[in-house]
Amino acid sequence: MAVALVMAWLLWCVWLYWRARRAQPCANRGGHTLVAYASQSGTAAALAARRARQLEVEAGEASVNLLPLNQVSRQTLLAARKAVFVVSTYGEGEPPDNGVRFARQFLRPALHAGGAEAGGQINPALDLSHLSYSVVALGDSAYAQFCAFGRRLFEGMAAMGAQALAPLEQIDSGQIAAVPDDGSEGGEAGNRFWTLTARTLLNPGSPGAPLYEVTLSACGPLPTWRAGDIFVLQPRNAPEVVSAWLSARNLDGDLWISSQQSTRQLRDWLSERDLSTVAVESSELLRGDFSALPMLPAREYSVASVPREGNLKLIVRQQMQTDGGLGVGSGWLTAFSEPGARFAGRLRHNNNCHTIDHTPPMLAIGAGSGLAGLRAQLAERSGCASAGPAWVVFGERSETADCPLALELDNWLTGGVIARCDRVFSRGEVTGKRYVQDVLTGRADDVQAFVARGADIYVCGSRSGMGESVHRALAAILGEQALEALMAEGRYRRDLY
Ligand SMILES: Cc1cc2nc3c(=O)[nH]c(=O)nc-3n(C[C@H](O)[C@H](O)[C@H](O)COP(=O)(O)O)c2cc1C
């Protein structure tokens, strides 16, 4: 009898111990390292992937979990021991699309209910006191809300009781070096030279700025990319660009390049000529080696073609600066250089904007140079026999002069790649003034039915000029929550700039 009682007591103790262990968050028993990113155009995703690899290789952290921020759940946070966040900021201080759900689910309650704004109490909904974390915030100091989402995330984690491993790290986007590509999340296909092979004006006679289709061929093997990826033009690697840019301003580029002055003197030389935006960072310049110099900020363009076409196409609007000169990147691509010119650039993979499966229908919305992203998606679909129907809604300015790629779009319409194409014009000389969001609102039933059939929504173009109005129209048609759910599922993808 006594033995039976001891056995029962022992079993009871074992059960109590097992229950206590189960109730403990995994983190207390070791846990993994989480690397989470929120990124609109791939830079933060690429940096996060690099950070995850470093942690695995250098720090020997076996289980590094790399996730977009929206996929970080309560369980993920409770199971992690350490979290590294790499996030950019969009809109006016807002999270990128793949961080919107996380911000609503965790940061809003933490910062508004019990956290920093309520005297530093831990948000009772989620106690992350087991977790240590760091935040790398990417932004652009030209924006008033510099790195605002990173700051909010940093504060929100503290409000949930997590322990900061380091102060918030803020990175100005111009300072970000190229991130090597390993074909995983984010990443970049290495810098290489490209040759300008063709340039076509797409809107002769337009009241707006000239829009060009620019075709580049790779020097060496063509790298691979997907529709949705970004081309990063590197003016810093092209001495010709610098010379052309300077001579377009009646400055003597050769004098600068062949100068034997010190870096400091060069800096003064540039600032005397009101070129203070040009950073001369290294004496490499004195040797005429531009490859290591962050001399001019890189310019980014949505890729308009797919590798199957054999070359890289961009659709570039010529930018005019306040001094009347052309923008550095668009000036070089559309005016300063002649076919045959060579310059450096790299591709940045932007998983956010990839279409994983072309079988479902697609509602492709864009305006102006946003045609680049739409064209790449359509070109990719044209090579996919099982692609679902695409409904294109495209906006431009003048009905008589702004019909870029009209023939190609018509051919895709005839060939069935496009099932329906609504072209609208803000001046609408013949059919009346209409914007893309007007088409969506006017066809709200069709939009609902298309999405109910499983359609993805892809938007490309200017954020303030189009993207925000389209977002408001879609939210009114589909409901805010449904739209957020589509975003979180990767079915509402936006390439906005
Ligand atoms: C439409 C748009 C809005 C932006 N708004 C902000 C902002 O409010 N604050 C900021 O610091 N950076 C802002 N940025 C800059 C981005 O955060 C920065 O370029 C970052 O490196 C992008 O990283 P990603 O490629 O991971 O999305 C904005 C960029 C774009 C294109």
Which ligand 1 atom is at minimum distance from the Cα of 497?
Answer: 31
Q: Average pLDDT, stretch 29-33?
A: 68
- Cα angle 153, 89, 486 (rounded to 5 degrees) comes to 90
Arithmetic mean of pLDDT, 69-78? 96
Tell how far the Cα of 295 is from the centroid of ligand 1, in angstroms.
Answer: 21
Q: What is the pLDDT of residue 297?
A: 65
Q: Lowest mean pLDDT: which of 17-21, 121-125, 140-144, 229-233?
A: 17-21
Integer Cα distance of 146 and 450 in angstroms: 38
Of 186 and 54, which is predicted with more confidence?
54
What pLDDT digit, counting tens, does each position of 199-216 carry?
999 999 999 999 999 999
Q: Cα separation of 105 and 84, whole Å?
A: 19
Check if 138 has its Cβ closer than 6 Å to any atom of ligand 1: yes
Q: How confident is the model at residue 233, as a pLDDT?
A: 87
Question: Does residue 293 have a pLDDT over 50?
Answer: no
**In Å, how far from its chain's centre is CA 154?**
21
C-alpha of residue 138 to centroid of ligand 1, in Å: 7
Q: Are 179 and 50 in contact (CB under 8 A)?
A: yes
Q: What pLDDT does 14 receive?
A: 66
Chain segment 393-410, per-residue pLDDT in tens: 999 999 999 999 999 999
Reported confidence tier of residue 288, pLDDT bands at 50, 70, 90: very low
CA 208 / ligand 1 centre spacing (Å): 26
State whether the beta carbon of 490 lies less than 6 angstroms from ligand 1. no
- The mean pLDDT value for 453-476 works out to 97
The whole-number average pLDDT for the span 442-466 is 97
Residue 151, pLDDT above cutoff 80 = yes
Q: Which residue has better confidence, 21 or 321? A: 321
Percent of the chain with pLDDT over 90: 63
CB atoms within 10 A of CB 431: 10
Residue 142 CA to ligand 1 centre (angstroms): 10
Q: Is the CB of 143 under 6 A from ligand 1?
A: yes
C-alpha dist (Å) from residue 161 to 122, 131, 184, 241: 6, 8, 32, 51
- Per-residue H/E/C for the chain: CHHHHHHHHHHHHHHHHHHHHHHCCHHHHCCEEEEEEECCCCHHHHHHHHHHHHHHHCCCCCCEEEEEHHHCCHHHHHHEEEEEEEEECECCCECCHHHHHHHHHHHHHHHHHHCHHHCCCCCCCCCCCCCEEEEEEEECCCCCCCCHHHHHHHHHHHHCCCEECCCCEEEEHHHCCCCECCCCCCCEEEEEEEEEEEEEECCCCCCCCCEEEEEEEECCCCCCCCCCCEEEECHHHCHHHHHHHHHHCCCCHHHHHHCCCCHHHHHHHHHHCCCCCCCCCCHHHHHCCCCCCCCCCCEEEEECCCHHHCCEEEEEECCECCCCCECHHHHHHHHHCCCCCEEEEEEECCHHHCCCCCCCCEEEEEEHHHHHHHHHHHHHHHCCCCCCCEEEEEEECCCCCCCCCHHHHHHHHHHCCEEEEEEEECCCCCCCCCCHHHHHHHCHHHHHHHHHCCCEEEEEECHHHHHHHHHHHHHHHHCHHHHHHHHHCCCEEEEEC
pLDDT at 242: 53
What's the rounded mean pLDDT across residues 482-489?
95
> At residue 179, does pLDDT exceed 70?
no
Query: What spacing in Å lies between the alpha carbon of 94 and ligand 1's midpoint?
Result: 9
pLDDT band at 219 (very low <50, low <70, confident <90, very high): confident
The pLDDT assigned to 176 comes to 59
Least confident of 115-119, 284-288, 488-492: 284-288
Residue 289 has pLDDT above 50, yes or no: no
Query: Is the confidence at residue 159, as pLDDT, over 90?
Result: yes
Cα(90) to centroid(ligand 1), Å: 5
**pLDDT confidence band for 246 (50 / 70 / 90):** low
What is the pLDDT at residue 229?
Answer: 97
Cα of 424 vs centre of ligand 1, distance in Å, is 29
Ligand 1 and 145: CB distance under 6 A: yes
Q: What is the mean pLDDT of residues 441-462?
A: 98
- Residue 29 is predicted with a pLDDT of 41
Q: Which two tokens stand for residue 342?
A: 């060579």
pLDDT of residue 149: 98
Ligand 1 contacts CB of residue 88 (under 6 A): yes
Least confident interval from 132-146, 338-352, 413-427, 474-488: 338-352
> Which residue's CA is the closest to the ligand 1 atom numbered 31?
497
pLDDT at 332: 80
- For the cut 60, the answer to whether the pLDDT of residue 249 exceeds it is no
Q: Measure the CA angle with vertex 398, ends 392 and 402; round to 5°.
A: 60
- Is 173 touching ligand 1 by the criterion CB < 6 Å? yes
- Range in 129-133, 142-146, 259-263, 411-415 the model is least confident about: 259-263
Calculate how far, in angstroms, residue 413's C-alpha sits from the geometric centre of ligand 1: 35
More confident residue, 23 or 176: 176
**Is the ipTM beyond the 0.90 threshold?**
yes
Higher pLDDT, 13 or 374: 374
Q: Say what the pLDDT of residue 18 is.
A: 56
Res 450 pLDDT > 70: yes
Ligand 1: centre distance to CA 461 (Å): 15
Quote the ligand 1 centre to 292 CA distance (angstroms): 24
Q: Report the atom number in ligand 1 closest to the C-alpha of 42.
A: 25
What value does the mean pLDDT take over residues 165-171?
97
pLDDT category at 296 given cuts 50, 70, 90 is low
Measured from the CB, is residue 146 less than 6 Å from ligand 1? yes
pLDDT at residue number 182:
43
Average pLDDT over every residue of 491-495: 97
- So what's the pLDDT on residue 150? 98
- Looking at residue 470, what is its pLDDT? 98
User: Rounded mean pLDDT of 108-118?
Assistant: 68
Least confident of 11-20, 66-75, 462-471: 11-20
Nearest of 417, 363, 422, 373 to residue 395 by alpha carbon: 422
Q: Using one digit for the tens of pLDDT, what is the confidence trace for 328-386?
A: 788 888 987 888 877 778 899 999 999 999 999 999 999 999 999 999 999 999 999 99
Q: Which atom of ligand 1 is nearest to the CA of 350?
A: 25
Which one of 35, 39, 88, 497 would you pick to mutate in the ligand 1 pocket, going by the greatest count of ligand atoms within 8 A of its CB? Answer: 88
Q: Rounded to two decimals, what is the model's pTM?
A: 0.81
